Chains A and B, each alone.
Chain A
């Protein structure tokens, strides 16, 4: 799959702040997935999006499937120390099961 454009590459935030990251693609996707990876672990699925315009929450996490189907964003509200990690976006086109990944956003929370 293609490499998606994920930004920012890294961010340092204060505990309690909101975090926002996004992902763009040159082609259309039918599914957007957001994962979090802790050091030495496999990625854990946070949110899955299936429809353009869809807005889905999972606790303090909110993600949206862009209307153009070429982008998605993830918000983390009121960040806490355990939000530290690398967040990856991933997209699936129609009729394919190979994920395309972003390069990841490294989040570091300052207490």
Chain B
């Protein structure tokens, strides 16, 4: 399967600042990546679909101006949380769609804490 990395693994930032999270597909060229968030003891919630070379598609209720997604290459997608607030504190996980197999492989996640 695809190997996916995320950076950083955890980050603490102050309210009002912006934070960038990177998702890399290490052994697979990914035209499509997905960004999820997960609150404690809950399932994964899809935030957006990141498409290489085009605009991301956001799920209903997710503010595209707050969660900026850039997928500039086949191996890298970034999620920037702008003007972060404590309620944005969560576990953010990306995944890669492994071509025609329709499987998704997840990164290790990034724990964001906004103080």
Contacts and interface: CB of A to CB of B under 8 A. Distances in A.
Interface of A: 1, 3, 30-31, 33, 35, 40-45, 48, 50, 88, 90, 92, 97-99, 101-104
Contacts of B44: 43, 88, 99, 101
B111 to A, nearest CB: 7
B43 A97 contact: no
Given A31-B102, A43-B44, A102-B43, A97 B109 contact: no
Interface of A is mostly: loop
Interface of B: 1, 4, 6, 32, 34, 42-44, 46, 49, 91, 93, 95, 97, 101-109, 111
Nearest to B94: A42
Contacts of B4: 42
Given A43-B44, A88-B43, A104-B43, A97 B107 contact: no
A31 B107 CA distance: 21
Name, among A3, A44, A99, A103, the residue most crowded by chain B CB atoms within 10 Å (CB to CB): A99
Contact of B103 (A30, A33, A104): A33
A48 B1 CA distance: 11
Name, among B43, B46, B107, the residue most crowded by chain A CB atoms within 10 Å (CB to CB): B43
Given A42-B93, A48-B101, A92-B102, A97 B46 contact: no
